Structure 1
């Protein structure tokens, strides 16, 4: 393994400065910085940074545009509602009695509609529950039939050997 030669060279100030291969420390720092910058350029780090910044700038511009649009919409809505409020205040006394009558009628209609809707939903829920019960019973019956068939098959397979089959065939033939 090659050994790195480190020399201590006396500097002009009188103290010993480290040196390797006869090169002073400030030269090594410069070489290291050049290598680091070279690696950054080779790996295209400035391009990645610039691309990231460009993407962030684009995103911020989109957010600013969206904020401007939202602000314009909010101002438009504010102006619209301010005009409606001014108009409503002028007509409020005239409309109060009519609104009260309409509110009472709407309330009665809403109560009737909600009762009808509750009854409809209750019927639908009951129908769904009944259908689920029928499906569950059908599933249980199907599973019971499958289990019975499997048990029958297993019992027949266990109890009927060649001799039992021959005996059964003889009994059937003799009964004829």
Structure 2
């Protein structure tokens, strides 16, 4: 019996498989594949965890952005309220100032009118005194003038004492 090359190749193949089975290569390959599968699972779990963390951070940043926008809107509203309050206060102070200035002006006008009336009265009194003096001088003689003078001196003396 002659063995050809195919037979020897088949025997070599059987010996190779026997050697592989003896050295437990399929178990080592299985463990290697299991280790690699475990590593891939760990990487997938880590990637999933990182993705969830990224989504959590994104949600947190969006929440913070919304809070910041709300705070900015509150600040703007407060600034608008303060500006309107300042405007109203300035308007009120301006109106009060105008009212005070108007009252002061009216008071000065009233005082000027009173001064003018008093000046006219004083001028009228002076004029009346001058006219009365002229009339009295024209109608009285020396004897009546001396009597009036003596009477006036007597009144002054009694009032001084």
TM-score range relative to shorter protein: 0.3 to 0.5
User: What TM-score comes out, normalization by structure 2 length?
Assistant: 0.44
More strand by share: 1
User: What TM-score comes out, normalization by structure 1 length?
Assistant: 0.40
1 or 2 for the larger relative contact order (CA 8 Å, sep ≥6)? Answer: 1
